[in-house]
């Protein structure tokens, strides 16, 4: 049943003269589609093309329900001639009129329209499709001196995906990591690390991306208590399909320091110049991720492990992950970069 449907979708999802065609898988029902529908973007041209897929497409579920799907925010893939990329779509309603790619709805062009959300604080607006997950957003708690660790992180794409001069690859990112001493009276925050970034996120093919940019890490203090580090970095990410909804991601990175290191001239001895992240995960299942960094000459460094599992399949659609975090080595908090610690915590995450 799936093959004829894919052939039909292949014909109606995009116009005949388009270089990239969107071919959706057929969900069993609207309920199944809520978990996301995979759409294959097939490059029928003779040259590589950067395409994120049409904004909206219509599909008919196996139970006969006609659904209108909309693309979720994500990177634009560069698709090789004769190759394909995958995009993820979610239903936005039961379809009444098909909205295939056309002159009014061209592929890979999302109009710059703000989304308005009404809440008890009043109406708020944002270009929601420009925001992307960056590092994990979580809150985890440990026993004793481990305390709590809270992190928020996001990236923002200031230009449209199809902006000239490849400006659509530009990202602004911000990460803030807070260490909460819940074992002490009044529970003070003992340390906070602030980390803005500016970088270009460049797709090479469906499974490979390279980033070049600048990152600043600071403890937010002044005078003799100030610690701040500026780095120019390069990182790459390669994804491997292991089959059975399993995926392996490898992300090596390297950096060099620029400017003054304030009151921490020896921070290089602990943070080093290179790092590596390796993650294995199953779609809608468990994910294990480990990041290591360090200085080979001084033999100092650190490793951090994340383990997560979505609560949606077992918690009535709950939009959280159960999240475990463990750290060993130097510099979990920038304030204590010379301190060698081993700590473990557990909690929840919004992204992973």
What confidence tens digit (pLDDT) does each residue in 133-186 have?
A: 999 999 999 999 999 999 999 999 999 887 888 999 999 999 999 999 998 888
pLDDT of residue 264: 86
282-323 residue pLDDT tens? 988 999 999 999 999 999 999 999 999 999 887 677 899 999
pLDDT at 247 over 60: yes
pLDDT at 213 over 90: yes
pLDDT at 102 over 70: no
Nearest to 52 by CA among 8, 113, 101: 101
pLDDT of residue 9: 43
pLDDT of residue 78: 83
Please, which residues bridge with residue 85 across strands? 41
pLDDT at 251 over 80: yes
Least confident residue range of 29-43, 64-78, 102-116, 240-254: 102-116
Q: How far is CA 257 from CA 94, 230, 297, 310, in A?
A: 53, 6, 16, 37
Using pLDDT thresholds of 50, 70 and 90, give the confidence band for residue 202.
very high
pLDDT of residue 120: 92
Average pLDDT in the 88-114 region?
56
CB-CB contact of 104 with 112 (8 Å): no
CB-CB contact of 68 with 94 (8 Å): yes
pLDDT of residue 94: 63
pLDDT of residue 296: 94
CA distance linking residue 227 with residue 134, whole number of Å: 23
> β-pairing, 208-218 with 37-43?
unpaired
The string over 36-67, giving b where at least 16 C-beta atoms fall within 10 Å of a residue's C-beta and e elsewhere, is bbebbbbbbeeeebbbbbbbbbbbbbeeebeb
pLDDT of residue 83: 86
281-293 residue pLDDT tens? 998 899 999 999 9
pLDDT of residue 5: 44
Average pLDDT in the 218-247 region?
93
pLDDT at 254 over 60: yes
Percent of the chain's residues with pLDDT above 90: 56
CA distance linking residue 315 with residue 306, whole number of Å: 21
pLDDT at 108 over 60: no
Average pLDDT in the 209-220 region?
96
Q: How far is CA 311 from CA 2, 34, 92, 134, 240, in A?
A: 29, 15, 22, 20, 25
pLDDT at 224 over 90: no
Mean pLDDT, the chain, as a whole number? 87
CA geometry: angle 42, 46, 48, nearest 5 deg:
65
Burial (CB < 10 A; 0-12, 13-18, 19+), residue 233, is middle
Question: Where do the H-state alpha helices sit in 132-282?
Answer: 267-271
pLDDT at 17 over 70: no
pLDDT of residue 262: 67
């Amino acid at each position: 049943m799936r093959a004829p449907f894919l052939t039909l979708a292949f014909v109606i999802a995009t116009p005949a003269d388009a270089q990239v065609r969107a071919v959706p898988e057929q969900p069993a029902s609207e309920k199944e589609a809520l978990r996301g529908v995979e759409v294959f973007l097939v490059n029928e041209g003779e040259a590589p093309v950067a395409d994120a897929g049409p904004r909206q497409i219509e599909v008919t579920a196996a139970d006969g329900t006609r659904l209108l799907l909309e693309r979720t925010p994500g990177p634009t893939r560069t698709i090789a001639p004769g190759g394909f990329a995958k995009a993820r779509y979610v239903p936005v309603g039961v379809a009444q009129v098909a909205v295939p790619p056309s002159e009014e709805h061209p592929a890979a062009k999302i109009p710059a329209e703000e989304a308005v959300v009404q809440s008890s604080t009043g109406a708020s607006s944002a270009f929601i499709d420009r925001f992307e997950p960056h590092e994990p957003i979580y809150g985890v708690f440990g026993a004793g001196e481990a305390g709590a660790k809270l992190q928020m992180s996001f990236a923002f794409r200031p230009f449209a995906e199809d902006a000239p001069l490849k400006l659509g690859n530009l990202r602004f990112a911000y990460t803030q990591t807070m260490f909460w001493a819940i074992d002490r009276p009044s529970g003070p925050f003992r340390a906070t690390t602030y980390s803005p970034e500016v970088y270009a996120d460049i797709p090479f093919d469906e499974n490979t991306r390279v980033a070049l940019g600048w990152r600043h890490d600071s403890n937010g203090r002044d005078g003799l208590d100030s610690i701040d580090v500026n780095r120019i970095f390069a990182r790459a990410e390669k994804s491997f399909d292991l089959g059975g909804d399993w995926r392996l991601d490898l992300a090596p990175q390297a950096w060099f320091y620029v400017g003054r290191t304030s009151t921490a001239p020896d921070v290089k001895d602990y943070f080093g110049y290179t790092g590596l992240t390796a993650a294995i995960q199953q779609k809608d299942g468990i994910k294990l991720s480990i990041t290591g960094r360090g200085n080979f000459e001084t033999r100092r460094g650190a490793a951090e492990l994340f383990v997560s599992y979505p609560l949606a399949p077992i918690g009535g659609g709950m939009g959280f992950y159960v999240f475990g975090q463990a750290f060993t080595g130097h510099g979990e908090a920038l304030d204590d970069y010379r301190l060698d610690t081993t700590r473990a915590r557990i909690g929840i995450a919004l992204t992973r």
